[in-house]
Structures are given as C-alpha cells and as structure tokens.
A and B are shown apart, each in its own frame.
Chain A
C-alpha cells in the first residue's frame, strides 16, 4: 500500500557574487511537503522519518551555503546571514529530541504540538535562507 506523498521541492542556491559557483549551484533538491499534524493526522514513526528526511535535504542545502561562505566563495556578508539563520536552527535539536521520544512512546498529544513547532522552524529557516539568496521552495501536502 502506498502512502500518498506529494513531492515537489526545488532547492536552489543562488550564490550572488561568486561567478564560479553561481552557475554550478543552481538547482539542488527534492523533498516532501511536510504538512501539519493534528489529532486526525497523527505523527506516526513513518511520518516522523519522512519529516526528518526532508530536514536532511534542507540542511544539506544550507550546509552547502555555509561551506561556500567558509571557502570565501560568496560575499562576506554571508556570515551575518548564516548567523541569523542559526538563531532558528539552534532551536531545532531540543524539539527533535522531545518529538522522537513522544512518537516512540505514543504520546500523540505532545507529539503533534512539537511536530508542528519543528516544521514551523524549518519553514522559517527556509524563508530566512531564501531572503538571503538560498531559495528552498517546497510544494506539497
């Protein structure tokens, strides 16, 4: 039986000011629309795993941005930009720890709340990255 997942994500890194990378790093991506959890749309282990795989793709993308910044391949303003995104990404690990525990223990009330917090943070990270030229577009359900 197939789980219905809608998959359309294009992650592109537009590294302004870096002629070498700008044309190369143009289209990275693939992911799944994470959606919102609720009592009628619970956070199963499969759904948790799906969301974490999407997050892997997102973090792989922004780590490439970070590496380009370290390599000096993009304008030095990238340091401040990445720092501003880290404000949000640093909030994710404790939520993930809680979410995994809630899902594995079957505590759906708390799992739903924390799942939605994590996905909101990931959405914010994507928006902040996009505002700095690293565009991650996710479409799906």
Chain B
C-alpha cells in the first residue's frame, strides 16, 4: 500500500465530505468512492459485489443529475 497515496486520498475525501455536508448534499457516495479507490490501490481485492455496488451508486447519481430542473 502506498501510504502517501492513501493519505492524499483520505485528506481529499474529508474535503469532499465537508463541502457536500455544508451544502446539504449526501456525502456518503463520494466517501465510498474514495474508499473504493483506496481499496483499488491493491490488486485482487475487487469482487463482483464491489462492482455491483459501485454501479448502483453511479447509476443513481446520473439519474439524479439527468432529471429536469424543477
């Protein structure tokens, strides 16, 4: 594990969470994405369940953005 890389991700992940919470958005998907990127720094750790989870989160975010602005 590249410690410097992980620390960089953690710091930026905290920045993401802080900003999203401040504007009233759910920060969990972004935090989970950062966690996945950290986990992905090690090969062989990805499961089909991981893929499915990522896909579900991304699909929901895209669907949310693509809705018409009320």
Contacts and interface: CB of A to CB of B under 8 A. Distances in A.
> A9, A25, A28: which has the most chain B beta carbons within 10 Å?
A28
A46 B42 CA distance: 10
Given A7-B37, A27-B15, A53-B33, A82 B69 contact: yes
Contact of A49 (B24, B30, B36): B36
Contacts of B5: 5, 7
Interface string A93-108: 1001000100000000
A64 B66 CA distance: 13
A39 interface: no
Interface in B46-61: 46, 50-51, 54-55, 57-59, 61
A136 to B, nearest CB: 12
B65 A56 contact: no
B23 A53 contact: no
A52 B62 CA distance: 11
Query: What range describes how many residues of B lie at the interface?
Result: 35 or more
Interface of A, secondary structure class, is: helix
Contacts of B25: 60, 63-64, 67
Nearest to B12: A30
Contact of B64 (A50, A52, A63): A63
22 contacts: A1-B44, A5-B5, A9-B12, A25-B19, A25-B23, A27-B15, A30-B13, A30-B34, A32-B37, A46-B40, A49-B36, A49-B40, A49-B50, A56-B58, A57-B33, A60-B16, A63-B64, A63-B65, A66-B69, A67-B23, A68-B23, A69-B69
